[in-house]
């Protein structure tokens, strides 16, 4: 007879062994973003590396697809949540996404208006769209809302630290909800075991979801 512990373990292994499903992460067609503003440029340009602690599920999945260059059905879910260790750098031509044990991808960016930029991956099958800067404290984080070229909306956070305070996270979650994003698609990455240049086990928390193995929990109100 199977013990309860073995049943739970089998369930978790099954879930994290499955491939990611991009369609399940699509929550909304693109919508109008009424207010976008540039951050303080002195602060923004002084940050050498950005972390990616909070995002919508679609944004996370597409970053994984961008770096791994393979069909979504070939990307194990555990790899996205546990091994990505995503980071960004910014230069005059755009963004460089890094993760999965040293993989990199450059995303070209062109300014459209105050707080608004168009972006396109150097990879022919990569990300294309428009990004809006909608919230920042000009100290620790920057909120981006993204409209992809396939008319799908997502969001992410660029942060100066690997973790954010509970009050800052609540501010971000409240802002995301005010824009129209659904908490069921919120994700939180933690970098506890990530090492420079080496993708180690990464703890993942999904906010409001019940179809992923939860390692820790975060509450939104």
CB atoms within 10 A of CB 211: 8
Residue 207's pLDDT is what? 39
List Cβ<8 Å contacts ≥24 apart for 34-43.
35/134, 36/113, 36/114, 36/115, 36/116, 36/132, 36/133, 36/134, 37/114, 37/115, 37/133, 37/134, 38/114, 38/115, 38/133, 39/133, 39/136, 39/138, 39/142, 40/136, 40/138, 43/138, 43/139
Of the pLDDT bands very low, low, confident and very high (cuts 50, 70, 90), residue 17 is low
- At 172-216, the pLDDT tens digits run 999 999 999 999 999 988 787 676 543 333 333 343 333 333 322
Q: What pTM does this model have?
A: 0.81
Can you give the residue ranges of every domain in the chain? 43-144+152-207
Q: Which CATH class is domain 43-144+152-207?
A: mainly beta
79, pLDDT greater than 90? no
Residue 92's pLDDT is what? 86
The one-character DSSP state at 185 is G
């Amino acid at each position: 007879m199977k013990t309860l512990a073995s049943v739970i373990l089998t369930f978790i292994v099954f879930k994290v062994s499955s491939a990611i499903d991009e369609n399940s992460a699509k929550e909304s067609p693109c919508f109008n973003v009424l207010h976008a503003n540039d951050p303080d440029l002195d602060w923004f340009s002084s940050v050498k590396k950005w972390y990616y602690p909070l995002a919508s599920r679609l944004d996370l999945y597409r970053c994984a697809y961008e770096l791994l260059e393979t069909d979504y059905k070939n990307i194990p879910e555990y790899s996205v949540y546990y091994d990505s260790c995503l980071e960004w750098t910014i230069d005059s031509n755009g963004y460089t996404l890094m993760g999965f044990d040293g993989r990199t991808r450059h995303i070209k960016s062109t300014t459209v208006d105050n707080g608004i930029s168009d972006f396109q991956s150097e990879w022919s099958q990569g990300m294309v769209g428009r990004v809006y800067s909608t919230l920042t404290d000009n100290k620790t984080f920057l909120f981006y809302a993204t409209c992809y070229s396939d008319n799908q909306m997502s969001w992410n956070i660029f942060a100066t630290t690997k973790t954010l305070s509970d009050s800052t996270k609540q501010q971000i979650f409240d802002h995301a909800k005010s824009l129209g994003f659904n908490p069921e698609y919120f994700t939180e990455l933690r970098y506890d075991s990530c090492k420079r240049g080496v993708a180690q086990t990464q703890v993942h928390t999904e906010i409001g979801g019940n179809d992923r193995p939860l390692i820790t929990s975060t509450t939104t109100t």
